[in-house]
Amino acid sequence: MIALVCGAALMAPAAQAGARSPASSTPVYFGSSNMQLRVVRTGVTFAFCPSHEMQGEKLNGSTSIFAHSFIDCTTSFNLPVTLSANGDWTQNSTGPTSDPDIDAVSITGVSLTGVVPFGCTFTVTGGAPGTYNRLTSVMSLDPSSPNPGAMSLVASSVSGCMGLVQTGDTFEWSGDYAVDPPL
């Protein structure tokens, strides 16, 4: 689990992360400057992160994502929010689109815990759709992207959030992620 501590993120060093890589896998890095998690019911952005980085390993067409850093994340109310990723997530290619340079992708196995200083805590689990542009090496997570598996991110374990987020609420994850090396 990676946690934001006093505005600085803790991420597994590349050498440690590389140690878990089988010989046939490829390290992959994802970096975003505009990651957002928004509650659909209320329209409240519960996390805007000017920096969200993910590290993983590509193997057999999907990427296991095992390290995260969330830096300087805030809510719509300009309150800091601490985000912690729980467990490994997976980036998948879900199929072609009508544009030959764009592939449909998803992030699945998401488990993310948020804590806002006024005592609000919540966990979001599930998956999010997106696209990957092979010309620019950018993965764009966008709720309007093709979503053949009808995946969603759902809130659970909600406490102290004053009705702004409730158990069962759906979240939308959006953000553009530079991918290195290209998928």
Per the rule left: phi > 0, alpha: psi between -120 and 50, beta: everything else, 78 is left
2-12+26-180 CATH choice from 2.60.40, 2.40.160, 1.10.357, 1.20.58: 2.40.160
How does pLDDT run across 96-134, given as a tens digit for each residue?
899 999 999 999 999 999 999 989 999 999 999 999 999
| 17-26, 91-100, 119-128: range with lowest mean pLDDT | 17-26
Task: Supply the pLDDT for residue 111.
Answer: 98
Reading the block at residue 73, the tokens are 């994340």
Residue-by-residue DSSP string for 44-55: -EEEEESEEEEE
